[in-house]
A and B are shown apart, each in its own frame.
Chain A
């Protein structure tokens, strides 16, 4: 006899398990994997939706045009700048928040909930709020800085190519620091108290405790927070779309904004797809190199 009682019930449960995966596979397959594949294919076509002409295969032409497109290269640079600066600030600030919230004090839960608020609010909606804060004439930022004597004349924060990106980064830091702080806080709370108690017996200073216990044990949480934030920052769209639309003079145009403009403003879907594909490949290569170095 080949099939015993046990293995027969195993196969039915295996079958049941597979059945349970079907809805997830259908969704991920059609709404995620199909688009990724289709996007790669479209990169090799010229797509003109207005004329009604079916897409024509043009080989690597989209890619060779992209590499000479200074606007695309600039958007890559903007994305890298935005990502690196915002993630670094969010990490440092988030670590500070987490260390602060890790202490026990009254109303800690309320403070923790308050810190969470920026994360929960819609980015696009709060980006409009930031536009109002940054407003050159009626903005509250200029008013406060003038009163504090930090600036002497009102600044058009979003209209100035030197400050627009800074404003976008600050708004992103405001929104995303809570996320980093919470991940790090959870990491901090999983560090066993005994380690600190033992080191206190050995007369360790606060700095040594941080350097020798907190930081090394927090590394997995740090890595996770940085990974998530970096990937989110690379894809940034809503904040910049609402805040500056990519301007002034393209100084805040990130790759997602560039792709959106080429797809829906200039209706060059194939070209826009190739920009997505190329960016994606660049990220993969950087990721692979980074992993190999480690």
Chain B
């Protein structure tokens, strides 16, 4: 009995450690963001703000174009997600349901793309977008983001479409539905949960992307949030506006924290779709 209690207590302690490990860096950002600049740069370090202070939250919008970064990120990530989910659902349907010749080979070729580090695309895309005059244009991020996430989308949706009973499609065909109508009126609406799962994951990945955004968006006003925050840094180590940076970090990451908690089941489902079914 006592032994069981000790075991249970040990388990509880481990869970607490895991949770603290996961959230403490983020919590520290929240605490820092609520301090005044003087308190941030004073010793000894205070673990709770003496006085809750929202000034830095206002300043990033008034003194820096942080609102613009958010709009840019929202626009780019939404467009890329829509494009990615749409294109992958078409391809996944062709592979899973029509079973076209060479479909699975195509899937493997596409999946290989997911294995390459992003840096391999960087220089040629830089050259290409330079020639096309697409620097600072959202298209220069939307197209690459949709493409690098395409393997993931096709993979998840293919495994989902395979589970839809064939009878549903057959019945629709008997009713005189064309191939296109079957796809758009029946399969896609039926797949709404899988499409949502894919969309949430792709959106998070697009929102977080850094390398392409850093390279293709040269003008300050064209920047997305991650690059915008990274560039808030001053010229030297001592000019870094930590109060503003932490406030910006909290604003950018809080929606993600909420999305993660709300949709954790879907995210886990999407992330592990390949791991279990594959």
Contacts and interface: CB of A to CB of B under 8 A. Distances in A.
A259 B121 CA distance: 12
Interface of A is mostly: helix
Interface string A129-140: 110110001101
B196 interface: no
A60 B150 CA distance: 34
A192 B87 CA distance: 36
A143 interface: yes
B48 interface: no
A291 interface: no
Given A32-B121, A221-B275, A129 B98 contact: no
A17 B94 contact: yes
Contact of B276 (A23, A121, A190): A190
Contacts of B106: 21, 25
Interface centre among B22, B119, B143, B233 (most CB of A within 10 A): B119
Nearest to A139: B45
B61 interface: no
Given A28-B147, A32-B148, A123-B208, A115 B19 contact: yes
Contacts of A35: 120-125, 128
Interface residues of B, number: 93
Contact of B259 (A27, A120, A269): A120
Contacts of A186: 268, 272, 275-276
Contact of A128 (B120, B179, B215, B229): B229
Contacts of A256: 117-119, 211
Interface residues of A, number: 86
Nearest to A283: B117
B243 to A, nearest CB: 11
Contacts of B144: 31
B172 interface: no
Interface string B224-249: 01110110010000000010011011
Given A28-B150, A112-B264, A138 B25 contact: no
Interface string A62-98: 0000000000000000000000000000000000010
Contacts of B126: 263, 269
A253 to B, nearest CB: 13
Contacts of A36: 116, 120-121, 124
A221 B127 CA distance: 39
Nearest 10 Cβ contacts at the A-B interface: A235-B117, A186-B272, A17-B100, A17-B98, A35-B124, A38-B124, A238-B210, A113-B264, A122-B208, A31-B147
Given A117-B23, A185-B268, A241-B230, 11 more contacts: A21-B91, A32-B147, A35-B122, A113-B260, A122-B225, A174-B22, A174-B25, A224-B278, A260-B215, A269-B127, A280-B120
